[in-house]
Amino acid sequence: MTTKRIFALLLVALLTLGLAACGEDEPTPTATPEPAAVVATNTPAPPTDTPVPATNTPVPPAAAAVATNTPAPEANSASTANSFAAPGDVLDSYRTRGGLLINTTFPDGRTTKQEMLLEGAFVKTDNAYGSDQSFEMTLTEEGTTETVTIYQIGDWVSANTQGEWVTVGRDNAGLFTSMSDIFTSFTDQFVLESGEAEKLGDETIDGVATTHYQIQDVSIFTQMAQMAPDSEEVIDKAEMNVWVAKDSGYVLKYDVLAEVSNVKDTDASGAEVATTQRVNWSYQVYDVNSDITVTLPADAPEPGTINIPGFAEGEFPVPEGGKLAVNMTGMPEITSELSQEELVAFYTDTFAALGWSFSGDFGFYEVKKGETTFSLFIDTDDRGKGRAQVFADQ
């Protein structure tokens, strides 16, 4: 999948902000609780904040904004507030939706389209993280659709991509918990650095009273895309409309339109050409403080369960003082107090005693018994101690 340069620039700019999903940092629990089981249900993935990778997920309906009682726009510009509240700080629950559409036009008139969609849900809870969340991100390009669905429930994060599940501890979820920042981090960066915005008046959107601001400053978009002063790409036109909730001061909705020229791409022959792009970026919070529950679908694995072929739960051999857990990539991982060489020797002897073959070199080993097989990769962790990762053959 060929990602267009401006697309990549915008994503990098947003991801480097380091803000957590829903515009706030993922709280760190004061104490590490025992893993709490999450009961799987038949509840389908709730819609909300999420665009990115795998399936034939249909495009969610566009965010509908019903505006009423809109006074005439004010002639003078007004400074925006210095900060906005994160929705999760002032709301008990909500859903989100977002879209990023990039239409590219080549010199010969050919056009391509990239589309990223987000659907998500948030509800405050009394767990160590303060909330349960879910989101689904769908990316469509050149006839291919990829979707990733992520649930942050209790102490665990469960992610599904291409029909396969990965479950990791919420403390180690990394990218899984920050993917929706692509949408939620945008407003703070754009509006706060703009300094000023034109106040267009008050509007009501889906029952929420808001103040409507507008920004039309190409230099801000250039800064957001982190374009170098000598960049050949040019943002020709840009407009951002932001609706801020009057009662709590959070961004309820934004719409961004930008036109970019001289964007380098390759044509059908592989030659580099200059293209033009039209970017449409939108995001909205809705179903504010409604009855929302975030639950895992029925096909999701029980969080905390570690499955290794040929071994029942709790029976995989671990050296004394070692620990078996799921790492941030969802793979079973054994940490130990042994050196790398000692850990290799431990598994060489242990698997032999259990009737398994153990062969390989340079850290990569195949473990086999009859028709059952898996791989071990043994290296050292950041303490210099031996570590083994399990890769099960599918």
Which tokens is 43 given?
């509840």
Lowest mean pLDDT among 84-88, 196-200, 204-208, 213-217: 196-200
DSSP 23: G
How many whole angstroms separate alpha carbon 289 and alpha carbon 93? 5
Decide: 65 and 284 in contact? Cβ < 8 Å.
yes
The angle, 0 to 180 degrees and rounded to 10, between the axes of the packed helices 186-194 and 5-15 is: 90
Exposure class string for 123-139: b at 16+ Cβ within 10 A, else e: beeebbbebbbbbbbbb
Q: How far is CA 301 from CA 37, 137, 155, 168, in A?
A: 11, 20, 14, 11
Exposure class string for 333-358: b at 16+ Cβ within 10 A, else e: bbbbebebeebbebbeeebeeeebeb
| 148-168 confidence digits (pLDDT tens) | 999 999 988 888 887 888 888
* pLDDT higher than threshold 90 for residue 270: no
DSSP letters, 43-69, are PPPPP-S---SBS-PPPPPPPP--EES
Summarize the confidence of residues 365-378 as an average pLDDT. Answer: 95
**Residue 169 β-bridge partners:** 156
Band of the pLDDT at 186, cuts 50, 70, 90? Answer: low
Which tokens is 209 given?
């009273």
Decide: 94 and 250 in contact? Cβ < 8 Å.
no
Which tokens is 110 given?
């050919």
Check residues 392 and 196 and name the one with the higher pLDDT: 392
| 206-247 confidence digits (pLDDT tens) | 999 999 988 888 877 777 666 777 778 888 998 989 999 999
| 6-33 confidence digits (pLDDT tens) | 344 344 333 333 222 333 344 444 333 3
Confidence at residue 323, expressed as pLDDT on a 0 to 100 scale: 94
Coil/strand/helix, residue 10:
helix
In the chain, where does DSSP find H-type helix? 5-15, 87-90, 175-178, 181-184, 186-194, 218-224, 340-353
DSSP letters, 277-333, are EEEEEEEEEESTT--------TTSPPTT---BTTB-TT-S---TT-EEEE-TTS-EE
Confidence at residue 259, expressed as pLDDT on a 0 to 100 scale: 92
Confidence at residue 219, expressed as pLDDT on a 0 to 100 scale: 78
Q: What's the chain's length in residues?
A: 394
**Residue 165 β-bridge partners:** 160
Lowest mean pLDDT among 59-63, 282-286, 371-375: 59-63
Coil/strand/helix, residue 14:
helix
Summarize the confidence of residues 326-340 as an average pLDDT. Answer: 86
Decide: 185 and 11 in contact? Cβ < 8 Å.
no
Confidence at residue 356, expressed as pLDDT on a 0 to 100 scale: 96
How many whole angstroms separate alpha carbon 232 and alpha carbon 252? 35
Question: pTM here?
Answer: 0.67
Positions of E strands within 106-219: 111-124, 131-141, 144-153, 156-161, 164-169, 198-205, 208-215
Coil/strand/helix, residue 12:
helix
